[in-house]
Amino acid sequence: GKADIIGNRKDRATALTQKASIADKIVFTQQDKKIFASYLAFINNVQSLSINNILEKTALFFLNTPYTGQTLELNKEETLTVNLREFDCMTYVETVVALSETALSPNPSFETFTDKLRNIRYRNGNIQNYASRIHYTSDWMYENERKGVLENISQSLGGIRETKKIDFMSSHRQAYRQLKDDGTMWMAIRSIEETMNRRGGFYYLPKETILSAAARIPHMAVIAFTTTIGGLDTTHMGFAFRKDGKLSFIHASSSGGKIMIQPGTLYEYCDSQKSCTGIIVAEIK
C-alpha cells in the first residue's frame, strides 16, 4: 500500500540516492579525458574571444574526427555518454556547444563540461530515461532557447512556420530499440510529440530563400535541415561556416565519414538533397 511506497525516511533517502546516482552516472573513456585535456590546452586564454570565435575554434579542433552513428544507443540504461572520439551530427553540435561554454566558464573542468552537456542534451537538464533525452531537433532548439543557450532566428531572417504533425518516432517504434517492446516509453515519446504539435510548429527558412538570406546567416549558427519526410522535422544538422566569402557548413558527415567543412555552399547542399525543404537557423548566445 501507500506506506510501502513511502517507506521510512532512511529507505526513501536510499531510493533517492540510487535515483540520483543513475542521473549522475557518466559513461566515458580515459581517451575522452585525454582529448578533453588537449582541447583545454588548445583553447586556453579565450576569455577575450567572442562566442562565435570559440565555437569556430572548437568545431575545427575536431576536423577529420570519425563519423559514427548511434553512439548514444549503446548503453542499456539512459546515462550521460561522453564521446570525443567519434560523433554523429547531433552529438557533434551538442559537444561543440558544451565545450565552448566550458571554455568560457570560470572553472573549465571535465565536470563543468559534463554538466553543460547534460543541460543541452536532456529536457530541463535531467536524465530520467530515454524519453528525457531530446530527440527531435526542433524540440532541441525550443528547449535550448528556453534555457538561454541559443535563439532560433529563422523568423527574423524571413522564415515561415512549418506546422506539419511530428510523430515519426512513435509511428516507427520498431526502428527504436527503446520503444519497440516498451509501451510506457512509447507513450512517453507520444506525449512529447503531442506537446510539440500543440506549440503550432516551428520557423524555418524555405530552400528558395537561403541564397537571399545567406549574407545574414551568422557564422557558426546552428543549422538544421528540414524535410518532406512524414512526421519528421529535420534530417541533419551542423554549424554555418563562412570562408572566403562563401557560406557553407561544418558537420559530422555520414557520407564523408568524418567531421568536415562541406565543399559546396549551404544552399547547394540543401538543393542536392531531394527531401530538404530548408533550414532552421539558431544563434548560440
Q: Give the pLDDT score at 16.
A: 45
Are 35 and 122 members of one domain?
Answer: yes
Are 229 and 159 members of one domain?
Answer: yes
Are 11 and 84 members of one domain?
Answer: yes
CB 162 within 8 A of CB 201: yes
CB 219 within 8 A of CB 56: yes
Q: Is residue 228 part of a domain?
A: yes
Q: Is residue 140 part of a domain?
A: no
Give the chain's domain count: 2
Q: Give the pLDDT score at 22.
A: 54
The three cell numbers of residue 281 are 537557423
* 29 contact partners, CB below 8 Å, separation of at least 6: 85
- As a whole number of angstroms, the distance between CA 229 and CA 233 comes to 8
In which domain, by residue range, is 188 found? 149-284
- As a whole number of angstroms, the distance between CA 204 and CA 158 comes to 9
* 77 contact partners, CB below 8 Å, separation of at least 6: 22
Vertex 273 angle, CA 154 and 84, to 5°: 75
Q: Give the pLDDT score at 23.
A: 56
Q: Is residue 248 part of a domain?
A: yes
Q: Give the pLDDT score at 76.
A: 83
Are 123 and 89 members of one domain?
Answer: yes
- As a whole number of angstroms, the distance between CA 104 and CA 57 comes to 13
Are 67 and 182 members of one domain?
Answer: no
Q: What is the mean pLDDT of each run of 10 residues along the chain (285 residues)?
A: 38 46 80 97 84 96 97 90 98 98 94 97 95 98 98 97 98 96 97 97 97 97 98 98 95 98 97 97 97
Are 164 and 274 members of one domain?
Answer: yes
Domain end call among 132, 157, 179: 132
CATH number of the domain where residue 153 is located: 2.30.260.10
Q: Is residue 142 part of a domain?
A: no
Are 159 and 124 members of one domain?
Answer: no
